Amino acid sequence: MNPLNIVILAAGKGTRMYSDKPKVLHTLAGKPLVQHVLDCASALKPQQICVVYGHGGEAVPDAMRQYAARFVIQEPQLGTGHAVQQAMPHLADEGSTLVLYGDVPLIQHSTLHQMQQAGEGLVLLTVNLPNPAGYGRIVRDAQGDVQSIVEEKDATPEQREICEVNTGILLAPTKLLRGWLDGLQNNNSQGEYYLTDIVSMAVQQGVAVHAVQPSHEWEIHGINSKSQLMVLERTWQLVEASRLLIQGVTLTDAARLDVRGKLNCGRDVEIDVGCIFEGEVSLADKVRVGAYSVIRNSSIAANTVIEPYSHIDNSEVGADCHIGPYARLRPGSRLQEGVHIGNFVEIKNSEIASGSKANHLSYIGDSSVGSRVNIGAGTITCNYDGANKHRTIIEDDVFIGSDTQLVAPVTVGKGATIAAGTTVWKNAPAGELTMNDKNQSTRPGWKRAQKVKK
């Protein structure tokens, strides 16, 4: 394949978003619009990617620094042809140039690959729409050969009847493109330099013009408003949901699922309504995820059950675990197999070995918990002294009574028992019962205050 340049147009203001943020930084499936396009572009392994930006100062280049792309400002914005012109000084003449749009996020690799296979000359991506209003129309001659693109505002009533429209995405030999752009004029109804005018120039020079159609219509939808963004988000989520259903995942409702990243599922996985998956998440065989759970950058091993309203972030959960309802696993939680974490239990940066349980109302932070440990209700690791974090070590077979505070750094030895209500501020020896010396006393005859009836 000859060298490829990619120009991504992203200078538009996005007035109809009514936002201070540049349009292309608004997110779809948890990722900025322009980043979807950059990811797709990068997968084509081009020699150069050029992003043309305009509004919002340096916000767009700053947010996309991780890409090996060149950012070129277009100021003022005089039309799509003028926008591509800004990139041309940075592109070598060999090979071809693909024009993409920062606000058309869902263009797919397979469609761009089809364009690359279409043949020598200028390749347009077009689509037939039952309602073509607003788009440039593809004008063909009697033989069906593409002659030009006419913008709606410049079109005759007959041309407006044409349902084949310009998506804007095109692929052109770079050297020819440069010449065509140099020849653009702005004598049209909008006073802009139209990229679309290069089509009639190609035809006049006898350069072949091909039209390719995308595999799915949603690939070419652009975003101009929050309602279009919402509609395309739901469209994309249904695409994700049907991909999972085809693989055999049970979804209670495909319309109530959000995947903001990559979700890998084993066999017989079940996902109830309202769940959100962010970043890279893997659910192994027979995992069940309860309603309204949020799981981010985590892996859940086989047979584990996540009950409703659980939050799991940057954590690893072993096989046969039982999590939630209302459990919170914060970054660095690593649970081995058969662990039970119940309601209102928060775990952070801690390992919990097999068969251990913390079923109610606890905070376990910066801890190593052994196997078969029982952590009673209301147990708190006091891991923070106001300046530093300290570790708590709880060895195998420990029983921690309810309402215990473990003041780190501290170790509870193997098989120890901690009485309910103990503040453990020194290491507790293995195999022994440890408690604070608080004797229980009773005041005979003491009366509680009574409400006086008025």
Cα–Cα separations (whole angstroms), residue 164 to 82, 131, 214, 218, 379:
24, 10, 12, 15, 66
Select the span of 25-33, 95-103, 330-338, 426-434 touching ligand UD1 (CB under 6 A).
Answer: 95-103
Which backbone phi and psi does 160 adopt, to 5 degrees? -65, -20
Helices 80-87, 174-182: inter-axial angle, 10-degree rounding: 130
367 touching ligand UD1, by CB under 6 A: no
Nearest one of 66, 69, 55, 67 to 26, comparing CA atoms: 55
Select the span of 70-78, 230-238, 257-265, 376-384 touching ligand UD1 (CB under 6 A).
Answer: 70-78
Active-site residue among 216, 322, 360, 390? 360
Active-site residue 390, yes or no? Answer: no
Nearer to ligand UD1, 103 or 397 (CB): 103
What type of residue is 454? K
Task: For CA atoms 234, 235, 239, 245, give the dihedral sign.
Answer: positive
Nearer to ligand UD1, 13 or 243 (CB): 13
Which backbone phi and psi does 305 adopt, to 5 degrees? -110, 125
The CB-of-103 to ligand UD1 minimum distance in angstroms stands at 4
The CB-of-328 to ligand UD1 minimum distance in angstroms stands at 40
Residues 6+ away with beta carbon under 8 Å from 413: 395, 398, 427, 428, 429, 430, 431, 432
The CB-of-142 to ligand UD1 minimum distance in angstroms stands at 23
Max distance between CA atoms of the chain, in angstroms, equals: 109
Across the strands, what pairs with 96? 4, 173
196 touching ligand UD1, by CB under 6 A: yes
Strands 340-348 vs 357-365: parallel, antiparallel or unpaired: parallel
Nearer to ligand UD1, 153 or 243 (CB): 153
* Angle at CA of residue 131, ends 125 and 134, nearest 5°: 70
Select the span of 75-83, 88-96, 256-264, 282-290 touching ligand UD1 (CB under 6 A).
Answer: 75-83
Select the span of 79-87, 252-260, 295-303, 316-324 touching ligand UD1 (CB under 6 A).
Answer: 79-87
213 touching ligand UD1, by CB under 6 A: no
**98 to 157, contacts with ligand UD1 by CB under 6 A?**
101-103, 135-136, 149, 151
Which residues are annotated as catalytic?
360
- Applying CB under 6 A, which residues contact ligand UD1? 9-12, 52, 74, 77-80, 82-83, 101-103, 135-136, 149, 151, 165-168, 194-196, 222
